Structure 1
Amino acid sequence: MAINYKPLERVNPQDTAAPRKYYAAVKTNGSVDFETLAALISEQCTVTETDCLAVLNVLEQNIVRELGQGRIVRLGKLGNFQVSLSSEGFATAEEVNAASITNARILFRPAKKLRNLLKNLSYQKAS
């Protein structure tokens, strides 16, 4: 597999006065949605496209619900999703409260097969 990349000019966030530099960035090659994934899956097994789409939609709903409950969602050989928080720092545990939370985000930790994908990629400059 080969990933196309393009040079992208960026500012150094730690020194905005420094000269801009060019860095390699992925040149995306479109996207894939639930409907397309459902069609692809249905071509590879005996489940219909409609059934695949229904399962993917319910999977999305359940991931959202479980993350909202503070659970780690483990998707087997795909990887794990987890909510992560950033907050201000305090000298004592008693000082930490909900108002001290500055950001929340969802982390994805890929499983071994996805991590290994990155080791086997080749790269080519996009024209």
Structure 2
Amino acid sequence: MSITYKTLPRKNPQDLAAPEKFYAAVVANGSVDFETLAEMISEQSALSETDCLAVLNILETNIVRELKQGRIVRLGKLGNFQISFSSNGFNTQEEVSSSGITKNRVLFRPAKKMRKLLTDLSYSKVS
């Protein structure tokens, strides 16, 4: 199976007068929700779908809780989640404060097996 993509025209944000260029962009092939994942896991194990859904919900709750504490959440062969942010630059250390933080995000760093997946992808253009 391959990852499908389409072409999109985009302007150069640093030079709006420049001609547009065309770029490849991923076309999603649907999505999978918690309930479907729980069903899939239950079919591949001795656990019920309800038990799997409960575990996934608890996992989500605990990941959020640990990230709020500033901890890195390591999920074994999946990868790591971590909070990151951007801040304004200041001239002195004394000027730096939390009010200078401008953007928050959750980083996901895939583990080795997940990174390998990226080297084995194939692509097909949507017509």
TM over 0.5: same fold?
A: yes
Structure 1: gaps of 5 or more residues: none
Q: Name the CA distance, whole Å, in 2 between partners of 1:68 and 1:82.
A: 10
- Post-superposition offset of 1:126: 1.4
Distance 2:122 2:7 in 1: 16
CA deviation vs aligned residue, 1:41-68 (integer Å, no higher than 9, x gap): 1111111111000000011111111111
1:50 counterpart residue number? 50
Match status 1:10 vs 2:1? no
Structure 1 position 14, deviation (Å):
2.1
Length-normalised TM-score, structure 1 = 0.96
| Paired residue type of 1:97 | S
Matched, 1:116 2:98: no
1:113 and 1:91 map into 2 onto residues whose CA distance is 42
SS at match of 1:124: strand
Using the alignment, how far apart are the partners of 1:26 and 1:94 within structure 2?
44
The structural deviation recorded for 1:94 is 1.5
Residue type at the aligned position of 2:14:
Q
User: In the aligned structure 1, how far is the partner of 2:15 from the partner of 2:52?
Assistant: 49
Cα shift readout 1:86-121 (whole Å, capped 9, x = no counterpart): 111112222100111111111110111111101001
Q: Given residue 91 of structure 2, which amino acid in structure 1 is its aligned partner?
A: A
Runs of 4+ in 1 over 6 A off after TM superposition: none
> 2:28 aligned with 1:22, yes or no?
no
Is 1:90 the counterpart of 2:90? The answer is yes
C-alpha distance in 2 between matches for 1:14 and 1:44: 50
Q: 1:8 & 1:31 partners in 2: Cα distance?
A: 22
Please identify, of 90-99 and 37-46, the stretch whose mean Cα deviation from structure 2 is larger: 90-99
Shift of residue 16 of structure 1?
2.0
Q: Alpha-carbon deviation of 1:22?
A: 1.0
Aligned residue number for residue 69 of structure 1: 69
Looking at structure 2, the residues matched to 113 and 4 of structure 1 have their Cα atoms a distance apart, in angstroms, of 22
TM-score for both structures, normalised by structure 2? 0.96
